[in-house]
Amino acid sequence: MEYRILGPLEVADEGEPVPLGRPKERLVLAVLLLHANEFVSRERLIDELWGAAPPPTAKKAVNVYVSQLRKALAQNGHDPIETADGGYRLGVEDDELDVSRLRQMVATARERASAGEPEVAAQVLREVVALWRGPTLSGLLLESHGREEVAQLDELRLTALMDRIDCDLALGRHEEVLGELHVLVGEHPLRERLRAQQMLALYRADRQSDALDAYQQARHDLTEELGIDPSESLQRLQQAILRHDPALEAPAGTASANGGAPAAAAAHDATLAEVSPRSRRRGPTFRRRYLMVAGLAAVAAVAVPVAVLFTRGNGPKPPSSPVSYVGSDNLASIDPATGKFVVYPGGGVKPGPMALVGKRLWIVVRGSGTITQQRTPPFPAGAAPYDIAADADGNAWVSQRKPFVTWIFHKVKWNGDPYATPVTTTQDVPVPLATTGAVAVGGGYVWVIPGPVGAGDRVALIDVRHRRFHSTIPLGRQTTAIAFGYGSAWIGTYDPGHSTAWLSRVRPGLDRPESLGLETGDGAGPLAVAVGDGSVWVLTSRGNLLRIGPRTLSLVHRIPMSAEQPTLLAVGAGSVWTANHLGYSVSQVDPDRNKVVRTIPLGSYSAIPCGIAATHGAVFVTFGETTCT
């Protein structure tokens, strides 16, 4: 006889199904199988069949159901159900019950994994998961403790899945498990182990920004649903990803996915792992986005004109129809697959630079001094926000062409009201620069270069955790642009005397920058720097997009784009994106082929792109009027 409860209840005799009668009889058998070879009292069976309101004839009915089961299950005169002390015991051999085989196989898989045989363990765990034909005892509704026992078996299935994914990660199959992990995380959003496995798989697939995006989504879901922060192990994994901890590349790095990651090493001890351009194209997945615009109140000496939008949540849906014309003072998204624009009206007067982290998009609105679609007061005279970056917690850092950077803590608990008042705190952090310009965040610091372009030759560091100035590092050349990734800050610089553009690399904890000469005859220096898809990308004022190897600090490829005249740069959604100031367009560059595959005209000469940001599933562009300042 073969008994199966991992799915609909089934009994087979030499491969032939055994009729089991009425639903109540099946429920009795289900409880006996959940406690195979154990005594089950008649009262327990009554509780499972009728709950707190059994009929007066309950005991007699149970006796009848057991009698009918005996007739169905008896073999060669052998009765498998034993009556004892007002209850029953169903005798089952280990190889007759799928749950018994399941537990033996799980034990075997864990022994093999502990012995350093992940391939064997993974195969056994695949066979374990295959034992399930659906939810445990699907179609039967137990009324008492049986529900918890069923839930424990379904939990065992999820545990086996996670164990198998650990084995696949140890075997370097991070690309293969990503699709499965995305589904599992969607089904179990509060499972931190799944979140950690997803983050690790994304990181190993050279998708650091997506891994950090996954952490931010986990943090949001845990906060909104349970009111708690991520566990220390998940926070350590996030910090290890930010530092490019070499331990994450080894099979032992899967310990991070099990909550066993060691405490993170200091940022300056991290070694930059080998990062190579991807040899395959990752198909873009354009996610549905929901926008909620929230204003920022002026609670510090200088308020900052920034709009905050959330790219996922329960807010109002964005416009869904693509357009061929983009007017000024708007925010738009680009479908990475088709190149179609979707416009979000009312972007404010001259919206500009953006910072995108997790599901939060920050936008500097330079022209109006008000918050888009919000009833917020005008900002004080003299406030001139220049650039913006977001830290790993989703807070913003805004430079204002003044000798300080403003930190903004912003939190909105979605309650269905698009005009819900956010909780906002700001703090000005002074830095010893004449003015502040472009900013980037990474390695535990905010990296600030002077602004406007060419206003200084050093970078200032702000300690993110303590929100205070840390140090300045001289670069020896005028600064123009900055980005952070692969464990370093990447700063565009130029030498006006020799009309030469450079890219400088500064690692956290070290004050000796390394530099690569880019192009001569480039009197304005690099226009933009971005990081992603295994490379550092630099736009030069001569109209070239340069691909730099982050490990070797060497030129990998030069992509001519003088026809497009690009000025802004972002990496995400499987491509490199440039906003073309003079060409009134946006271009898409395929990083696998190192060529421009699409240039998307705006359809108007009254709007120019003033900011661009991208993540793995979306690209956002802001459009100003005739200028962006």
pLDDT tens-digit map of 506-530: 998 888 899 999 988 766 789 999 9
User: Does 416 have pLDDT greater than 70?
Assistant: no
User: Quick check: 502 and 247 in contact, CB under 8 A?
Assistant: no
User: Quick check: 479 and 492 in contact, CB under 8 A?
Assistant: yes
User: Quick check: 574 and 284 in contact, CB under 8 A?
Assistant: yes
Estimate the crossing angle of helix 192-204 against helix 232-243, to 10 degrees: 10
User: Quick check: 1 and 12 in contact, CB under 8 A?
Assistant: yes
Q: 93 phi and psi, to 5 degrees?
A: -75, 155
User: Does 297 have pLDDT greater than 80?
Assistant: no
Q: Kindly state the helix (H) or strand (E) to which residue 445 belongs, with its residue range.
A: strand 445-448
Question: Distance (Å, rounded) from C-alpha 453 to C-alpha 621?
Answer: 22
Mean pLDDT for the chain?
A: 77
Question: Distance (Å, rounded) from C-alpha 17 to C-alpha 10?
Answer: 7
User: Quick check: 535 and 549 in contact, CB under 8 A?
Assistant: yes
Q: What is the pLDDT of residues 346-370, one digit of tens each?
A: 556 778 888 776 556 778 876 654 3
**Is 265 buried (19+), middle (13-18) or exposed (0-12) by CB count in 10 A?**
middle
User: Does 427 have pLDDT greater than 60?
Assistant: yes
Q: Give the CA radius of gyration of the chain.
A: 30
User: Quick check: 261 and 237 in contact, CB under 8 A?
Assistant: yes
- Top pLDDT among 437 and 382 is at 437
Select from 431, 426, 430, 522 the least CA-distant residue to 481: 522
CATH number attached to the domain at 178-274: 1.25.40.10
Six token digits for residue 586 = 């946006």
The whole-number average pLDDT for the span 208-222 is 89
Six token digits for residue 267 = 């940022």
User: Quick check: 90 and 33 in contact, CB under 8 A?
Assistant: yes
> Quick one: pLDDT at residue 284?
30
The whole-number average pLDDT for the span 218-239 is 85
User: Quick check: 390 and 360 in contact, CB under 8 A?
Assistant: yes
All CATH 1.25.40.10 domain ranges of the chain, comma separated, are: 178-274
> Quick one: pLDDT at residue 292?
23
CATH of 1-171, one of 1.10.1740.10, 3.20.20.70, 3.90.1150.10, 1.10.10.10: 1.10.10.10
Question: Distance (Å, rounded) from C-alpha 61 to C-alpha 67?
Answer: 10
Residues 6+ apart with CB under 8 A from 512: none
**Which segment, 109-123, 218-232, 378-392, is predicted with the most confidence on average?**
109-123
User: Does 295 have pLDDT greater than 70?
Assistant: no
Neighbours of 13 (CB within 10 A): 12
| 445-448 LR contacts (CB < 8 Å, sep 24+) | 445/470, 445/489, 445/508, 446/389, 446/391, 446/397, 446/405, 447/482, 447/484, 447/489, 447/491, 447/506, 448/399, 448/405
Count of H helices and E strands in the chain? 10, 33
| Angle of CA points 438, 439, 444, to nearest 5° | 165
The gap from C-alpha 46 to its chain's centroid, in whole angstroms, comes to 48
Going by the DSSP 8-state scheme, the letter that residue 256 receives in this structure is G
Residue 378 in 3-state DSSP?
coil
All CATH 1.10.10.10 domain ranges of the chain, comma separated, are: 1-171
Q: What is the pLDDT of residues 21-68, one digit of tens each?
A: 788 888 889 888 888 888 888 888 888 888 877 888 988 888 888 888
**Is 545 buried (19+), middle (13-18) or exposed (0-12) by CB count in 10 A?**
buried
User: Quick check: 213 and 205 in contact, CB under 8 A?
Assistant: no
- In sequence order, what are the beta bridge partners of 360? 310, 357
Six token digits for residue 11 = 């009994």
Tell how strand 81-84 and strand 10-13 pair up: unpaired
Estimate the crossing angle of helix 23-34 against helix 58-73, to 10 degrees: 80
> Quick one: pLDDT at residue 47?
84
pTM score: 0.52
Among the ranges given (11-15, 266-270, 279-283), the one the predictor scored with the smallest mean pLDDT: 266-270
Question: Distance (Å, rounded) from C-alpha 601 to C-alpha 395?
Answer: 33
* Confidence grade of residue 381 (pLDDT, cut at 50, 70, 90): very low
Select from 491, 517, 489, 513 the least CA-distant residue to 502: 517
User: Quick check: 451 and 438 in contact, CB under 8 A?
Assistant: yes
> Quick one: pLDDT at residue 198?
94
Tell how strand 568-572 and strand 575-580 pair up: antiparallel
User: Quick check: 230 and 192 in contact, CB under 8 A?
Assistant: yes
Q: Is the peptide bond before 336 cis (omega within 30 degrees of 0)?
A: no
Q: Which amino acid is at 537?
A: W
Question: Distance (Å, rounded) from C-alpha 59 to C-alpha 560?
Answer: 85
Task: Pinpoint the alpha helices (H) of 98-231.
Answer: 98-114, 118-130, 146-170, 174-187, 192-204, 208-226
Q: Kindly state the helix (H) or strand (E) to which residue 539 belongs, with its residue range.
A: strand 535-540
